[in-house]
Every structure is written in C-alpha cells, then in structure tokens.
Amino acid sequence: MQSTTGRSARSRLLWAFLALMVALLPVASVQAQSNGPYRVPSIRAPQAFEGANLPPDAQPGLPPGYVPPGKLIVDTDTGVDDAAALAWLMTQSEQVDLLGVVTVAGNTTVENATENVATLLMSAGWPLEEWPVVLTGAAKPQNRKLSSTGKLIHGTDGLGYMRFALANVFSNAGKGKALKDVTAFYCSHAPSGPEADPVTILALGPLTNIAESIKKCPNEMRRYQYVVLGGNRGLGNQTPSAEYNFWQDPDSAQRVFSAGIEQLIIVPTDAFGQFALTLEDAYLLLDPTQTPLAQVIGGALAYYIGVLSLGDPSLPVSVPDPTAAMVAVFPQYFAPYDPYGFGAISEGLVKVNKGPEPEYLRGTSTIGIYAYNEPLTMIAKDKELSALYDRLLDGVTTAEDAFAKVSEWQAAVMELYAQEGPNAQVVLYPDGAAMRACFLGAFGVAGYESACPAPFVAEADAGTSTSGEAGDPSLFLPILTVE
C-alpha cells in the first residue's frame, strides 16, 4: 500500500511533466505512422454464416481450429503500444487466464521491457502473489545488434517516460521477481496433447524467444496456437518494405514461419493500421476519475501519439499491438473468418527475407493469399510455371478452347500448392472502429462501456461468474488526482 503523504505534490509534479511534454509535441520532427484507418471493404458479422457449410465443431467467424483464449502467454518488447495491449488484456479477466508475460528486446531494452510489465501490474493493483509469471527473455536479436530506433516514439524507458515519472509512486516490490529461463518455461507449458486445453502465445515483439524455444523443443512449441504481430503485405513501418518486429529479428521470424506450426494467425501492418487513436482519446484515459492503470496508459499514449501526430489532437495514429490482442481474444467479432474466402482472415503463405544485404531489404516479408492465387510464384519458379502454361495452351487458338483448359489449370495449381501449403491465417480487414470503441470501453470511458463483446462462458460454467476486475483497484489512489 502506498502512503498518501506527499501524493498531492507528486501529482502536481506529474501533471506539470505531462503538460510540458504535450507542449513540446508540435515541434517533434517525426512523421505520423498513419493518417487514420484505411478504407476497408465491409465484412460479414458472425451471424451471417448461419447457412454456411461449416464443420460441426466450428464457431461462425472463427478461423478453422482456433480456440479463443483461455490460457494466454504474452511475449512482448513492452513499448507503449505493447503496454496498451497488456492493459487491455488485464481488463478481460473473465475471458483471459494470463499464464505469463515474457519480455524480449525490441522497442526498448529487455530490462526496460520487464520493468514496464511490473509497472503495469502494480498500477493495476495486482497483489504480488497473484502476478502471472514474468520472465526476462532475449536481450538482442539472433544475429544482430539491437536497434535503438524505438527510443523516439517509446521514450528511453520504453513507456513514454511514464515509468521514470512514476519512479517514486510505486514500490520496488516487483523488482527481481522476473525469471530468466524462457525456453524451459515455453517447453513446459505447452499443451500435453490435442485433448488438452489450448494455450495461445500472443507475440507482440520480435520472435527471438519463440525461435530459440523452437530450436530446443520443436514438438512442444508446435502445440501452441499463436497470434503474431508482424510482417506486411503493403508498406512497412520501419522501412518502405519491412515491418518493425520482423526487421529487428528477421532470422527468428523466418524460423517461426518455417517451423510447421498448424495454428498461427498473423496481424501485419495492413491490419493493425486499421486501429488508430488520437491525442483526444489518450486524454480520456488521463481523466482524474480513471483508474491508475488507465492513467498510466493514457500518459504513455499521450507521448507516443503526440510525437507521431506532431501534436495534432484529432489526427488518428496507428497503435499496433492492441489490434493483435483483440484479434487473439475476439477474432470472430473484430476479424471474422469467412468460409467463402471473403472474410477479414484468410489462409496465406508467409516468407521473411533474413539476408543481411542489402540493408534496406532486411526483414521484408512476402505474404501471399491463397484465395487470390498469390503464393503460386512463391512456390514455383518461372521455368516450371512457363512449362505448365506452354503445355496447357499448346495449339489453342480460340477463347472457347482456352476456357476449356481452366479446370486442368486449377488441378495443376492445386498440385503445386500441395508442395507448400498455408503457414498462417492472415488478418486482412479488422474492424478498427469497433476495436477503438472496445479499447476505450474496457477502461470505462463514458459512452463506450458496452463496446466490448461479452466473454464466452463454457456450458459447465454457465451458472458462475467472475467480477472481471484486474486485481483490487482500491490498492492505489488515482495517480494523477488534482487537488
């Protein structure tokens, strides 16, 4: 329990810090990642699939075989957007059993990432004995030095300077709690078999920890289901052609997508760019009536969004990681799968360029969607494809004869696809507006309180309920109270 003596003075100092920070934002010299959510085609709601010929155990809108958590492990390089995702997950305790949080170097150092997790758990009021397992993972990518380019938008503490600002507010009780044997943790927590309850790994940062664990226990790591934030079909967000997480550690990314994992959802830049927040949204979380957790996230987001928006309070800025968290927990609402091939999630083939040269192509990903026949040239070389077309169209002189060859062409393509099938379910068109409403509503922002889907309740548990509170919010008074 924190003493309230001196809290007023600390509150005024923190408000002064935030006011100065926001005042300086317009002179920032970095361009916003996003000018707002992209225009996307309409997607079908889960109830639209009632007449579809779904497998008997499939839920409408869910990718085949995917079971929403349940049991969840978060692998994160806890920058500002990671912290926002973790905070949102803490509000979903009726749906999510958070088994562990594993940190990795990426947006910030792995030491910062671990301390930021502790800051969030303390601000949520979780008693130390009720914390999920916290583990400190890889301090650098597999074969490269850690880039420092995340420092500007995440701050030198990785949390938009909020952890530094709150150094005297929270106790140091969480320091030293983090464990270090990440591979042993992953190898021992995998489901024991197909009948066991599924466990989901939500990977929000570089895939270094996961790739290292795949080397040690590949069979166990294949038993997890994964939701991975990374990669891009269109523009990147670190280079014109590479997304940040894959760019930081392309070797690990390629190892993961080559590991034969059956249940893997990828959320690339094209998808997470749909979820955007403004400075005005961050200010809603900074309201003095908000919980400490919301205020910490609001302060961190105020810095992050302010830098990227050049201080424009109404300019939407992409906040990637909450998109992956919401897709992991409620995919059928925010990114429904369509068995007819036109949904927000579709089967794809993902390959990552891990070559060191040229530097500007480092970490570029190629994501081909099978419904669009895009993986064809990722699997077969032009020599093989040219021979196929020459054979099919030899002697054809009319459109009618060419059309007659289409079924033969399709059969040949299916044979090629049998050589290398999908290695991921690719999120294409998530509902960014619904995600924004759910994100704000999860923290009780007025007008959005009922924006998140209701949690799933197993039949055996239908007569029971839980409070949904992430720990005891009364453990700490609101951090930013103005007196």
DSSP string for residues in 266-292: EE-HHHHTT-EE-HHHHHHHT-TTS-H
Do 361 and 385 lie in a common domain?
no
Q: Which residues pair with 139 in a beta bridge?
A: none
- Rounded average pLDDT over 120-145: 93
Q: What pLDDT band is residue 463 in, cutting at 50, 70 and 90?
A: very low
Pick the residue with more confidence: 337 or 100?
A: 100
Query: Between vectors from CA 333 to CA 237 and to CA 309, what angle results, nearest 5°?
Result: 30
pLDDT of res. 256: 98
Residues 6+ apart with CB under 8 A from 70: 95, 96, 97, 197, 198, 199, 200
Q: Which residues pair with 368 in a beta bridge?
A: 349
Judged against a pLDDT cut of 70, whether residue 54 lies above it is answered with no
Q: Give the side-chain half-sphere CA count within 13 A for 362.
A: 18
Judged against a pLDDT cut of 80, whether residue 20 lies above it is answered with no
- Rounded average pLDDT over 350-354: 94
Do 38 and 178 lie in a common domain?
yes
- Rounded average pLDDT over 287-291: 93
Judged against a pLDDT cut of 60, whether residue 184 lies above it is answered with yes
Q: Classify residue 482: in a domain, yes or no.
A: no
CA dihedral 98, 103, 108, 114 (to 10 degrees): 80
Pick the residue with more confidence: 247 or 13?
A: 247
CA dihedral 246, 250, 252, 256 (to 10 degrees): 70
Q: Classify residue 5: in a domain, yes or no.
A: no
pLDDT of res. 152: 95
Do 332 and 383 lie in a common domain?
no
Judged against a pLDDT cut of 90, whether residue 473 lies above it is answered with no
Judged against a pLDDT cut of 90, whether residue 182 lies above it is answered with yes
Q: Classify residue 14: in a domain, yes or no.
A: no
pLDDT of res. 244: 96
**What span, in angstroms and rounded, lies between the C-alpha atoms of 431 and 433?**
6
Do you find a cis peptide bond into 65, omega within 30 degrees of 0?
no
Helix, strand, coil shares of the chain, percent, nearest 5, are 40, 10, 50
Pick the residue with more confidence: 299 or 466?
A: 299
Do 65 and 182 lie in a common domain?
yes
Q: What pLDDT band is residue 373 in, cutting at 50, 70 and 90?
A: confident
pLDDT of res. 145: 94
| Structural domain boundaries enclosing 406 | 376-419
Per-residue pLDDT tens digits for 154-179: 999 999 999 999 888 776 655 555 67
| pTM attached to this predicted model | 0.83
pLDDT of res. 114: 95
Do 111 and 99 lie in a common domain?
yes
Helix axes 292-308, 80-90, angle to 10 degrees: 150
Lowest mean pLDDT among 191-195, 329-333, 381-385: 191-195
Of residues 160, 156, 115, the one with CA closest to residue 317: 160
Per-residue pLDDT tens digits for 449-459: 989 987 654 33
DSSP letter (8 states) at residue 343: S
Exposure b/e, 26-52, CB count within 10 A at least 16 = b: eebeeebbbebbeebeebbebeebeee
Q: How many independent structural domains does the chain possess?
A: 2
Residues 6+ apart with CB under 8 A from 271: 323, 327, 335, 426, 427, 428, 429, 430
- Rounded average pLDDT over 40-61: 42
- Rounded average pLDDT over 437-450: 94
Q: Classify residue 227: in a domain, yes or no.
A: yes
pLDDT-above-70 percentage for the chain: 79
Do 261 and 389 lie in a common domain?
no
Judged against a pLDDT cut of 90, whether residue 209 lies above it is answered with yes
Q: Classify residue 279: in a domain, yes or no.
A: yes
Do 333 and 410 lie in a common domain?
no
Do 268 and 403 lie in a common domain?
no
Do 152 and 210 lie in a common domain?
yes
Q: Classify residue 383: in a domain, yes or no.
A: yes
Q: Classify residue 15: in a domain, yes or no.
A: no
Lowest mean pLDDT among 164-178, 184-198, 239-253, 314-328: 164-178
Do 393 and 323 lie in a common domain?
no
Judged against a pLDDT cut of 50, whether residue 276 lies above it is answered with yes
Per-residue pLDDT tens digits for 61-114: 888 889 999 899 999 999 999 999 999 999 999 899 999 999 999 999 999 999
pLDDT of res. 342: 72
pLDDT of res. 76: 98
What H or E segment, with its residue span, contains residue 226?
A: strand 225-229
Pick the residue with more confidence: 276 or 456?
A: 276
Both tokens of 123, joined, read 């601000």
Q: What pLDDT band is residue 194 in, cutting at 50, 70 and 90?
A: confident
Do 165 and 107 lie in a common domain?
yes
**Average per-residue pLDDT in the chain?**
83
- Rounded average pLDDT over 16-40: 37
Judged against a pLDDT cut of 60, whether residue 7 lies above it is answered with no
pLDDT of res. 1: 42
Q: Give the side-chain half-sphere CA count within 13 A for 475.
A: 19
Q: Classify residue 201: in a domain, yes or no.
A: yes
Do 249 and 100 lie in a common domain?
yes
